[in-house]
Amino acid sequence: MEAGASYRQMAEALGLTLGQFRYRLQKYRKAMEEIAVTQAEPRLERPEWKEDSRLWEEEWVQTGIEDRLILMAKDPWTLFAHWRVSPLQQRLVCRHFESEWGRLPFSLRLCDVTDLHYDGKHAHSIRVENTHPLADRYWLAGVTPGRHYLAEWGTWTLEGHFFTLLCSNVVKTPRILEERNRAVLKMEPVASEKTTATTDLEKPFYPDIADRWNDRFDGYTWVEKKEGDR
């Protein structure tokens, strides 16, 4: 077939109509495209959750609701608190205290509010931990299992009063099984005051060799002897 021949000339040379020739040519080209895609190097699609680079950062990055303090229980003896302060609230606090954010004293208060309606003052105990102005998390170790805790984060006034900026949710630390706290008691037998001789109940039982049992045991059940049986 010479180069530059028209579809009609090629169809006549193959003994096909022009429509048949175009149909077969289109089918051939489609098959070649599928072969090319199959032989090409496969492309691994990256899951959507892997596209979020924030999930792969090693640094602590908080997103979501601002001006919020969250308290979580790690185990019966440890709590974890993390917070986030918006730039707007930082500016308001600095303007109120007429000071820069980095010069203000900040603290995290942990309050034991078990069976109490906490009003900001009354609590079973209050623990104060000083934090850095740029800090946004803190581990609280040494808490009591089975208690309800609430955390507050804020600064101090010149008069020494705590000024709450953020208040957390109430968290209950897990209880410890009572068996772990119980003392282990060792029980020992007490000898009788009357006699130290071994009673019949304490003597070990050994079957008499003369006592024949094979004639009363058939391999499945025990057959009681009747009067007259040998």
CATH assignment at residue 92: 2.60.40.10
**Structural domain includes residue 217:** no
195 falls within a domain: no
Decide which of 84 and 11 is more confident: 84
Distance CA 64, CA 62 (A): 7
Of 141, 172, 203, the residue that ends a domain is 172
> Quick one: pLDDT at residue 170?
94
Q: What's the full length of the chain, in residues?
A: 230
The answer to whether residue 95 is domain-embedded is yes
Amino acid at residue number 100: E
Residue 57 has pLDDT above 90, yes or no: no
Residue ending a domain, among 122, 141, 172, is: 172
Among the listed residues 67, 165, 49, the one whose alpha carbon sits nearest the alpha carbon of residue 109:
165
CA distance 102 to 16: 87
Of the residues 150, 172, 194, the one at which a domain ends: 172
CB-based contact 128:122 (threshold 8 Å): no
Are 73 and 159 contained in the same domain?
yes
- What pTM was computed for the model? 0.52
76 and 167 both lie in a single domain: yes
Is 131 among the domain residues? yes
Q: What is the Cα–Cα distance from 37 to 43, expressed in whole angstroms?
A: 11
Q: How much is the pLDDT for 4?
A: 47
Could you tell me if 35 and 121 lie in one domain? Answer: no
Domain of residue 19: give its range.
7-39
If one counts the domains in the chain, the total is: 2
Task: Kindly give the pairing relationship between strand 106-112 and strand 162-172.
Answer: unpaired
* 174/144 Cα distance (integer angstroms): 9
Tokens of 188: 């020992």
In 3-state terms, what secondary structure has residue 197? coil
Based on the fold, state whether residues 78 and 23 are members of the same structural domain: no
- Return the structure tokens found at 139: 């581990």
Is 206 contained in some domain? Answer: no
Assess if residue 58 is contained within a domain: no
82 and 21 share one domain: no
φ, ψ at 219 (rounded to 5°): 100, -20
Q: How far apart are CA 152 and CA 114, in angstroms?
A: 16
Residue whose pair of structure tokens reads 């979020």 in the numeric block: 52
12 domain residue, yes or no: yes
61 in a structural domain: no
Give residue 34's pLDDT band: very low, low, confident or very high (50, 70, 90): confident
